[in-house]
Amino acid sequence: MEKKMSTQDTNRPVDAIRPAEEVFEIINAIPENSCGVPQPRFLFDLSLRCKGAGAIVEIGTSAGKSTIALAYAQQTRGGAPLNTIDIVEHDKIEANLSQAGVSAFVNRIIRSSSEVAASWSAPVELLWIDGDHSYKGVLQDIACWADKVLPGGFMAFHDYPSPGGKALGSVGRAVYKKILSRPDRWQVIADRQAGSILVFERRQPIEQAETSYAENLFEKLKFFMAGMRQRVGNKFANRNRANSKE
């Protein structure tokens, strides 16, 4: 069953913009363990990087901690409402959005992400994937939504495993298979700088019409090697940060 709640379709006045510290205090007070203290601020900054070229889509609303951060950034810059998707409605979501003053900047869609993707035609500038954390669920979200992200747009994942872990986990395995294996298309721009968030930027496409097969293959190989160097560098950087805290 589909249930879509778009504040654009109501006569509610636009919420007054709250001071930033007040909004983040509200976020931190929400009793939800799925989004740690540094992560909402990170997502706020990431949302601010959007230029209005496409939609901002969140998969996994829950109680609204990340929802508020993403929407608040757009509210402060006069951008477009956040589109947030979940298969169930959290009993506190409406109150949390209202308390933070961002209700008018959130379009809530109660439906599976794959069903929404099937009829979604607008380009996406920022895609935040934090829904079904199973291997199959993450693969499905990537398959349904990744190609909708504009070149220069962002795709971010929650709960990517920490560096040095023995197992990639379901999120890590899915991302490794579908995204890290395509360095010609996706570039890591933030590697767990706010706990477990991994962010990719979609590269500009290679103009195949203007290049030969060999040139195109060489470009893909170059991106792959650059991606490998970046991943190794990030791993050592994260390890050094961890050692410096000990």
Please report how many Cα atoms fall inside a 13 Å half-sphere around the Cα of residue 25, on the Cβ side: 5
Tell me the residue range of the domain where 193 lies. 3-245
Sheet arrangement for strand 124-129: 3-6, 106-110, 82-86, 55-59, 124-129, 149-157, 198-202, 186-191
- Specify whether the CB–CB gap between 130 and 33 falls below 8 A: no
Q: What is the CATH number of the domain that holds 117?
A: 3.40.50.150
- Specify whether the CB–CB gap between 69 and 45 falls below 8 A: no
At position 183, the amino acid (one-letter code) is P
Number of domains in the chain: 1
pLDDT tens for each residue of 151-192:
999 999 998 887 655 567 899 999 999 999 898 899 999 998
Q: How many Å is the Cα radius of gyration of the chain?
A: 19
Q: What are phi and psi for residue 134, nearest 5 degrees?
A: -70, 160
Residues 6+ apart with CB under 8 A from 51: 125
Q: Considering the entire predicted model, what is its pTM?
A: 0.80
- Specify whether the CB–CB gap between 93 and 61 falls below 8 A: yes
pLDDT for position 82 = 98
pLDDT tens for each residue of 56-89:
999 999 999 999 999 999 999 999 999 999 999 9
